[in-house]
Every structure is written in C-alpha cells, then in structure tokens.
Structure 1
Amino acid sequence: MEIKKNPKSNLENYSKIFMQIGLVLALFVTYAAIEKKTYDRTYGDLGTVNMNAEMEEDIPITERVEPVKPKTPPPPAPEKIEIVEDEKEIEETVIESTETDETVAVEVEEIEEVEEVEEVIEDVSFMIIEDVPVFPGCKGNKAELKKCFSKMIQKHFLRKFDAELPNELGLSSGKKKVYIGFKIDKNGNVVNINARAPHPKIKSEVIKVMKQLPKMKPGKQRGKPVGVKYSIPFTLIVE
C-alpha cells in the first residue's frame, strides 16, 4: 500500500515563491546599505582659522625721489672786450667764368674721322645664297628661280656646244663627264669660268660656250649684291 502525499503539503510547489522573496530581501538589504549615511568623526571645536590674516603684510609707502641735477654755472664773462677797427683788406676770391667770348680764340682738339669699314661678304655658294641670281626670263619664288636658273644653263650649253666635236677627236665611245664651274659677280656678269673635260679641245669649247651666257641679276646676301659660285656637271655621249 503506497502512502499518498497531500499535494498541498508538497513544498516544491512553493520553491519559486521562496526564491522571489529571497531576491527581494537581498535587493532591499543592498539598497539599505547603499543609502546609509555616514558622518566624519569630530574632535571638538578648535575654532576658526583666518588664513588671510597671515598673508597680509604691511607694505610701507615709498616715495620716489628724483635726483637733483647740479646746475651748470654760466661761463665766466671776459675780463676785457677789445674793439677792432675794420681796416684790414679782405682778399676776394675771383671765380673765373667758363663762358667763352667771341673775341677770345678757343683751342679745339682735332677730331679724327673714323671711316666706316664696309662689311665685305665673300662669295656665296649657289646652294645657300639667300637671293639667287636671276637668269633673264625666270620668274617665281626662290625655289622656282633656282630651278629655272639650272634649267636655262643646261639649255644654253646643249644649244651652243658642238656635239660632233667628241666624235671628231677620236675619243672612245661611251659617256664622258664634263664639270663646269663659274661665278656670277656683283654686277651679274659670268666670270672665273673653269672646266674639266676628257680632252683640251673640249675644255676650250666648254669655256667658249659659257662665256656666251647673258648678264643676269646678281644674287644677294643680307640684302647686298655678292658673288655667287655655281657648278654643274654635263655628260657627253661619244659614239
């Protein structure tokens, strides 16, 4: 036979309530401990101490005394005053005038005249001349004038040169080189003609032909007429 307990006598049913009551009591004790007021321990009335009394000092009142400067005595009066009569002649300094008079001859140093040396520009190559010589009939800009000049020189040589001369001289067949050089002077004349050819007679013929070139407009460098050197090669075909 089992013994049955009364459900009301079972304490486990009230465990949560006991825990809550315990928690409330713990919080109350903690709060009371925090809120408890404490007072400093007193040792009786020692009276009040005035700290300012010790800090105050009697500062004597001083007065600034300016030093007394000694008075400078006046200079002693001269014992006797002598009166000097104005009898001495004073020499006056004469300042000479720098202005000249028309009646006075003035020496003038001779002024040497310095002759201006004209800048001499040597002969310039046809390839670098600023303003090229102009062959009669050529027009255009600098590049066109250069091209026209070379073309007219070749045309003049082919028209004037005796093409049968190389064959008459009995030269071997083939191409023969002829180098020609000359200068157009400041007046536009063709001068200083020289040639290099395979035969002396051909050289003479070349020089004769180049002497027949017309007068040209001279070339210019820095705006001044100058001599212009020109060279050109020719090829002769010998049959």
Structure 2
Amino acid sequence: MKPKKNPNLEIGRNSGIYFAIGLNVMLLFTYFGLEYKTYDKDIIAQDIILLSDDLEDDIPITNIDAPPPPPPPPAAAAPDVITIVEDTEEIEETVIESSETNQEDEIAEPIEVADVEVVEVEEEVSVPFTVVENVPVFPGCVGKNNAELRDCFAQKMNEHIKKHFKYPESALEMGVHGRVFVLFAIDSNGRVSNIKSRGPAALLEKEAERIIGLLPTMEPGKQRGKPVKVPYSIPINFKIQK
C-alpha cells in the first residue's frame, strides 16, 4: 500500500530547529531589554552675571597708634674710686678629725645595771562599768554586792538629773526636743571627767553636759584592788509637754 502523506510536506520534521531559533531570538531580546539603560537629563540654565563697578568699595586704611616702648633701665653707676685692700690676716685651716673608731681606741667603762634608775609610769586603766570588779559608789549608796550598787547608782543618777534638770528657754521657743546621749568617765580619784554628748541640738547637748558636770565626787571603781577609770553613759530625754 502507498502512504497517504507526502514525506516532503511533513510539518513536524524541522520543528526542533524552529524551536531553537525562536528560543535564541527571545533570549536575545531579553538580554537587550535587561541591559537597556536610561539617564536623567538635567536642565542646565546658563545665565550671564553682569558685575558693575559700583560694588567695589574702597576700604579705608586705619592707622593704629601703638604706645612707644618703655625706656631702658638706667645703667648702674660705677664707683668713682676703687680701693684695693690687701689681705693681711692669716686664715687658719681647720682639720676635721675622723669619727671612726679602730682597735686602738679605748672603750669607756661599762655602766652596771644597778646604777640605772628605772622610773615606773603608772598608766591609767579604763574598765567598763558592766565588767569592773568593784563599781564606783555614788554618795549615799549602800549595797552588799555589785548588783545592788549598780541599781543604787542608776537610781541616784536619775534623782540627780531630775533635781538639776532645766529646759533651755531658747530651745523651748524653737520647739527643739529629743534624746541626748551623754558619755563621761569616773577617774581613779572618783571625779567626773571627759564629758561628751550627742544630741539633736547644741543647746540640749550643753544642758546635758552641765547636769553631768554637777555630779559629786564618788568612790572610784576598783579592779584587782586598784582604783581605775570607769566610763559610763546615760541618755537624757528632753520632752516638751503640751
């Protein structure tokens, strides 16, 4: 049997070539489209500037009068007559002897220990009120032990403060009040010393120190049978009653 189609007129015979050509053409157009560039055009205006001679101003020249330099200092006047004095006194040269010692030098006689006087300096010992063996005794206090003497000491201190307490008038007018802590010491002679205070105002501190300064002489505290210095502190309240 003979084929019905003419092989020379077959359409799909060269389709691969046509596809390759079309693809290359499209790639070429795509490349040129991506590489195509445009630039902004600036509008440049050219003007002519005319300068006139009227703008030129002459700058006046100013003369600054500088002060004249100070005159040079006067030269020192030379003496009229120069007298030459001859050295007539002879100068004796002093020889400084060496202070170093050698084996030929004599050694001074040694001092015996018995000839040296030893002076004992008594150092004042301070023992706190709570641990001292024998507490200071306030005048009028009697007790069998330290506990009773401590209670009596505290009671006598409160009585002394109430007796001599006086609120400063200036502090009352200003409404100053608060608690003042007073620290003092009863020395080995039983006298009050080293009074210090800390409170809300100087007026109250001064009054508290005045009250403690009026304490009488006491029997000093003792440690191991010897009088010692015993520090003590007490608060004093300053209250304004309305």
When normalised by structure 1's length, the TM-score is 0.49
Work out which of the two has the higher radius of gyration on C-alpha atoms and give 1 or 2: 1
